[in-house]
Structure 1
């Protein structure tokens, strides 16, 4: 055999070998693609990609089990315990699981299964890799809520700040006229300080309430234990309770885990405990307990205080409402604390209930969806 024929044979053999290798690689790749399409698991990297997306995005399988979700979907309280919480989105996902692209524009949904807050959203559900459904949700009501908050804020400020501002002016005049009387100067200065503190408290709480209403969802969500927020809220009230000889007792399923904004939840519990201490007699007890019930965590604050009538219970969460107007004003109460609690709990997809009777005390109970820990550590 000549040298040229040998070289030709070697070249044909090399080409054939490369073709066989490429064929094997293609077959293996096709097998991997087919396995991904028929597998019940998401393709590698998809879960991580979805978790990093802005906005509310999540993927479910054909049984509507949530396999991946973005931070935005959790902030809007669309999901809980690995399932979709919003009936309208469940229906859309079911239709998409049958191979249809489904869109709905500018319709209202409730935030979470218990919250009375609503969202105006646009949603789209579409099939993904034949075995999954991709759902995207856009909150369309943000600008309207912000506009409403601005109007309410102006109305609240003009109404509620009118009295303390007038008081500060009158006290300043009285202080000037009493310049030659040290005792009267001291008296008016103390009252001026008290009114200034009250004015500052009202302003801070109005801003806090407006922020809660305007943001819709809260910002810093994380997995947290019930014990961590109860312990911190109790610590913030321990000095006042000790001064009144009131015992603060906590117990129950404190190892339960919820997903939310730790700082805001502490504010909510702090307000409830502070109210309980404020309206309780000396040498009494305030109890804070937690229990799991139907995928929710219930945290109850119970006091042995003066209690409320049925009419007061119906209005207790209204902004600036005070069950005891004279006593609340004299002690710096703004009438915003319980309204703030209601908005914080609602923004976590939960609700708040109250039981009370005159002379028998009150029990405020908040319910928030329990978080799925998936074996991960939670913050203490």
Structure 2
């Protein structure tokens, strides 16, 4: 009887030990799975395809804020480096999402990566992805912010520029009324009124011109143009002012160069350069205009012996309403839009403009445009232009 109890006890102990081993094995397997999930987390199905389709940046974070999935845009924007978020601001937002469970949308200004100090404007949205992950979507809105600033500055500058001639016209009109019995005063005020109205008209026309240049169809119908004729027409518009200031305009020999484009716009661009050169030159000095062809590029160069441009201002001379010399611009009636118009005209013709200058020694502006190839002649004798910019 005693032996029977011993056998039963041994069996019970064996079963208990076996059951314990089974439980331990299950626990070990469970912990192993948890460890595997931490090391190799499983992202919900379809996320890879979604991130690949995004134009904006997409990032998936695990519970430890490790980046487990990312789109190419997130890498190029500098939001992710070495499988980690670069910016602590995004980490803090991810923690808030986990804590509250609510999506978050914010505008942030962040540097472009750990090695670049350039700041970018982002619109970011964070939300939970399943129970373990957080999804970050980031859209680069830097260009949109820049354009908004440009528009605000443009409106502010226009308001400022229009205010002066409009106020002058009003004051001069009152002065004319009060001086009705004094012919000499009437003539003086009338001359000033004519000057201010011309300035107002010129500013309005240049604003309209600048707006047209920014339209997509600015060069809807380009024509093959003789550059020498364009330069001659532009120079003729400045000869009277130059002669009045005893400034010589010297034009180089004919180049025989042709470009495709809008004749009126190119004349405006070259005239603006020549006019600037005359306005910023000293009496008795010389302004030179030359045209040359070089490797399928036509260069129109305007050189003066004027006051020059400081190195710190060279990058700004093509900004709207920027003036190198405010006092001289007021004297000459300049609007500060001339060089901005030149830049847009040249860009719309597929070219670029360059400037060299030294204070006290003068400036050289160079327009570079693609040269128009000689027209082909078909069997009927008619010319067929090619390489036209459309």
The residue that corresponds to 1:267 in the other structure is 268
Structure 1 164/156 Cα, relative in aligned 2: closer, same or farther at 3 Å? same
Task: Give the root-mean-square deviation of aligned CA atoms.
Answer: 2.7
Structure 1 149/378 Cα, relative in aligned 2: closer, same or farther at 3 Å? farther
The residue that corresponds to 1:158 in the other structure is 159
Determine if the alignment matches structure 1 residue 244 to structure 2 residue 260.
Answer: no
Determine if the alignment matches structure 1 residue 332 to structure 2 residue 333.
Answer: yes
The residue that corresponds to 1:218 in the other structure is 219
Determine if the alignment matches structure 1 residue 351 to structure 2 residue 352.
Answer: yes
User: Does the CA-based 8 Å contact 1:225-1:254 persist in structure 2?
Assistant: no
Please, what TM-score do these two structures have when normalized by structure 2?
A: 0.55
The residue that corresponds to 1:167 in the other structure is 168
Structure 1 358/163 Cα, relative in aligned 2: closer, same or farther at 3 Å? same
User: Does the CA-based 8 Å contact 1:216-1:347 persist in structure 2?
Assistant: no
> Highest relative contact order (Cα 8 Å, sep 6+), 1 or 2?
1
Q: Distance in 1 between matches of 2:384 and 2:291?
A: 17
User: Does the CA-based 8 Å contact 1:246-1:283 persist in structure 2?
Assistant: yes
Please, what TM-score do these two structures have when normalized by structure 1?
A: 0.56
Structure 1 243/294 Cα, relative in aligned 2: closer, same or farther at 3 Å? same
User: By how many angstroms is 1:149 displaced?
Assistant: 10
Q: Distance in 2 between matches of 1:310 and 1:149?
A: 23
Structure 1 218/179 Cα, relative in aligned 2: closer, same or farther at 3 Å? same
Determine if the alignment matches structure 1 residue 189 to structure 2 residue 190.
Answer: yes
User: By how many angstroms is 1:183 displaced?
Assistant: 3.3
Q: Distance in 2 between matches of 1:263 and 1:202?
A: 18
Instruction: Output one character per residue of 1:279-314: Cα deviation in whole Å (capped at 9) or x when no partner.
Output: 222232211112223321111111111111112222
User: By how many angstroms is 1:174 displaced?
Assistant: 2.6
Matching of residues 1-380 of structure 1 within 5 Å? 155-215=156-216, 217-251=218-252, 254-375=255-376
Q: Distance in 1 between matches of 2:163 and 2:242?
A: 32
User: By how many angstroms is 1:219 displaced?
Assistant: 3.2
Q: Distance in 1 between matches of 2:384 and 2:325?
A: 41
User: Does the CA-based 8 Å contact 1:286-1:303 persist in structure 2?
Assistant: yes
User: Does the CA-based 8 Å contact 2:233-2:267 persist in structure 1?
Assistant: yes
Q: Distance in 2 between matches of 1:336 and 1:192?
A: 22
Matched residue pairs, number? Answer: 234
User: By how many angstroms is 1:199 displaced?
Assistant: 0.8
Instruction: Output one character per residue of 1:318-348: Cα deviation in whole Å (capped at 9) or x when no partner.
Output: 1111112122122211111111110000001
Unpaired segments ≥5 residues, structure 1: 1-145
Q: Distance in 1 between matches of 2:175 and 2:220?
A: 46
User: By how many angstroms is 1:184 displaced?
Assistant: 3.0
Q: Distance in 2 between matches of 1:190 and 1:241?
A: 21
User: By how many angstroms is 1:194 displaced?
Assistant: 1.6
Structure 1 166/239 Cα, relative in aligned 2: closer, same or farther at 3 Å? closer
User: Does the CA-based 8 Å contact 1:167-1:195 persist in structure 2?
Assistant: yes
Q: Distance in 2 between matches of 1:181 and 1:231?
A: 44
